[in-house]
Amino acid sequence: MAPVITLNAVDYAIIAGYILVMVLVGYSLKKYMKTGEDFFLSGRSLPGWITGLAFLSANLGALEVIGMVANSAKYGIATVHFYWVGAIPAMVFLGIFMMPFYYGSKVRTVPEYLKLRYNEATRGLNAISFAIMTVLMSGISLYAMALLFKIMLGWPLTGSILFAAVVVLLYVFWGGLSSSIYNEVIQFFLIWLGLLPIVFLGLKEVGGFAGFAAKLQETLLHSVKYLGTSNNPLGVDWFGVVMGLGFVLSFGYWTTDFLVVQRALASKNLNSARMTPIIASFPKMLVPLIVVIPGLVALLVLPEFSQAALPTADYNSALILLMKHYLPNGLLGLAITALLASFMSGMAGNVTAFNTIWTYDIYGSYIKKGQPDSHYLKVGKYATVFGIAISVGTAYIAQSFPNLMDYMQLIFSFFNAPLFATFLLGMFWKKATGWGGFWGLLVGILTAAGHFILYKAGVLTYHSDMAANFYQAIWAWLADFVVTIGVSLFTAKRDPKELVGLVFGLTPKPKADARWYARPAVWGTLAIIIAIILNVIFW
């Protein structure tokens, strides 16, 4: 198949220049990686604005960008639910209520918190399930990148996978979490620089927002108005969006996924750690500018998305075709570099999370305890190589799934959705016991597996795969929540003195900064207000 896009020497020079910068960032940080805390948590020394942008960029991968542009072309403005309902409230909740427990307890990982709050068994279950999830997600990033570049540029699939794996290996092996975070910050700006020209040129061609209103179907122009009706393009009702996406999947990802929490743990102090997700929430609200608008533009300007072609349209190709339609060489190289950067940073984020979990929560807890810090630093570097090698393998597993966004949501509903119930009860109910936490989490994961089997067998039916994922998350969360409470009522309670610093109500509240403009609660409240206003405007 002939490549969709043709690059020239300028485009390739931009791509090569960025790859060189990535590797040099990692190499320049090598001399600072003297301890395990330096390698795994950046020495807990980074300012809030750095960790905030990295927190957002760890989630703003090219797969999400391409997938959300596709969702916008398919579902219209309702795609904003993934941001204004499915992200902002959870990010603010993490910063205000949960980071004091993560950062204040001085844990190095999310499973380590579960050990302190519940027991070793709960920590082990979460560590193993999360390690599996990270290498699966890393493989998705690798495969999606290779597939995209094969379609766009004609690059060989295996060659692209191995090339990206080696680049990520070099800069993470040398610079640890710090190199991943700094490259994520660079990637954040590249994504905006690469996609904003498409937004501006697209708006100009279709006649701005007035052009959308005049030419698009009414159902594609509202985020809330048609929920629960037969004209709802999303195929999900109010309850599915609010409870499935806005509560379970959103809070399950943003408040418990170590991939993003790790960025906040790298902050220089508690206030910076609390501000990390809140700072990230403001640019997160603006991401629909670069994903929703291009998807709507594609419906109006690309013949592949004309009314006649829609039943067979390949929505995942929308962004690629828009790049070809609007961007000249040079800007085209910048846009492709942005996608390459975000694929690699998405993979690197999963790899840095994996090497930390493996080193501290699996190897250091069950294989070789009590070793000096230098030993675990070496193990972390070896785990980086090991994790990337597994990711190359899981990239080919991802190849068997026709819709990678559905695959991602499926993984989150298996692992993150029940885990949120475990954390919610652990942090805010002092009577939750160690075995309550373990059995709740295990039953939650098994419930998700049972739901998936019943859905695939046709026993359970939904309007769309997305609706199935939302409801699978709800049932997994509910099962964990109920079982944790039930088992806790009949098992031994912890002494409240042992839960100080781990449970709300038994832990002194963080001292508010004397400067009102530096307080997380102030900025978190502002973020929620703006999100509500945006939902009202685009209802």
CATH number of domain containing 64: 1.20.1730.10
Instruction: Name, in order, each residue with C-beta under 8 angstroms of 194's C-beta and a sequence gap of 6 or more.
Output: 331, 334, 335, 336, 337, 338, 339
Of 63-67, 385-389, 484-488, the range with the lowest mean pLDDT is 63-67
Q: Mean of the per-residue pLDDT values for the chain?
A: 85
pLDDT of residue 235: 65
Domain assignment present for residue 298? The answer is: yes
The answer to whether residue 206 scores a pLDDT higher than 90 is no
- Residue 407: pLDDT over 70: yes
Residue 493, both tokens: 């309670």
Confidence band, pLDDT 50/70/90 cuts, at residue 233: low
pLDDT of residue 143: 81
Query: Does residue 499 sit within a domain?
Result: no
C-alpha closest to that of 161 among 381, 404, 393: 393
Position 448 pLDDT exceeds 70? yes
pLDDT of residue 119: 93
What pLDDT is attached to residue 403? Answer: 61
- In this predicted structure, the answer to whether residue 468 has a pLDDT above a threshold of 90 is no
On the question of pLDDT at 514 being above 80, the answer is no
Within a domain: 462: no
Rounded mean pLDDT of 38-49?
83
* Residues constituting the chain: 539
Given a cut of 60, is residue 309 above it in pLDDT?
Answer: no
Domain presence at residue 86: yes
Given this model, what pLDDT does residue 230 score?
A: 59
Write out pLDDT tens, residues 163-193. 888 888 888 888 888 888 888 888 888 888 8
Q: Whole-angstrom Cα distance, residue 429 to residue 119?
A: 16
Contacts of residue 347, defined as CB under 8 A and 6 or more positions apart, other chains included, come to 138, 141, 142, 145, 164, 165, 168, 391
Whether residue 435 lies inside any domain: the answer is no
The rounded distance, in Å, linking the Cα atoms of 160 and 465 is 30
Across 18-22, 93-97, 151-155, 401-405, the highest mean pLDDT is recorded for: 93-97
Domain holding 188, by residue range, is 9-236+263-402+510-537
Q: Which helix (H) or strand (E) holds 134?
A: helix 120-153
pTM for the model stands at 0.85
Q: Are 79 and 68 in contact (CB under 8 A)?
A: yes
Q: Note the pLDDT of residue 442.
A: 96
DSSP string of 186-250, one letter each residue:
HHHHHHHHHHHHHHHHHHHHHTHHHHHHHHS-GGGG-SSTTTTSTT-TT---HHIIIIIIIIIIH
Distance CA 376, CA 76 (A): 48
Quote the CA–CA distance of 456 and 227 in Å, as a whole number: 25
Task: Find the Cα–Cα–Cα–Cα dihedral 72, 75, 80, 85, rounded to 10°.
Answer: -150
Q: Is 222 in contact with 77 (CB distance < 8 Å)?
A: yes
Hey, which of 4-18, 119-133, 344-358 has the most confident mean pLDDT?
119-133
Report the candidate in 232, 281, 260 with the shortest Cα–Cα distance to residue 78: 232
pLDDT at 473 over 70: yes
Q: Is the pLDDT of residue 16 over 70?
A: yes
pLDDT of residue 336: 86
pLDDT digit string, tens, across residues 281-290:
999 999 988 8
Helix/strand/coil for 60: coil
Mean per-residue pLDDT, 269-291: 91
| pLDDT of 200 strictly over 80 | yes
- Tally of structural domains, the chain: 1
Q: Is residue 242 part of a domain?
A: no
At residue 134, φ and ψ (nearest 5 deg) are: -65, -40
The answer to whether position 420 is within a domain reads no
SS3 493: coil
- pLDDT above 80 for 29: yes
Look at residue 308 in the predicted model and tell me its pLDDT: 47
Share of the chain above pLDDT 70, in %: 93
Query: What is the C-alpha separation between 472 and 243, in angstroms, rounded?
Result: 11
Q: How far are the Cα atoms of 177, 309, 497 from residue 19, in angstroms, in the given order?
A: 18, 38, 51
**pLDDT 10s digits, 125-161:** 999 998 888 888 888 878 877 877 777 778 888 888 8
Structure tokens at 391: 């990711």
Q: Using an 8 Å Cβ cutoff, are 471 and 245 in contact?
A: no
Average pLDDT, stretch 506-535?
Answer: 83
Whole-number Å distance between alpha carbons of 44 and 50: 12
b (16+ CB within 10 A) / e for 247-265: bbbbbbbbbbbbbbbbbbb
In a domain, 500, yes or no: no
Match 């570049």 to its residue by tokens.
Answer: 149
Q: How far apart are CA 32 and CA 41, in angstroms?
A: 12
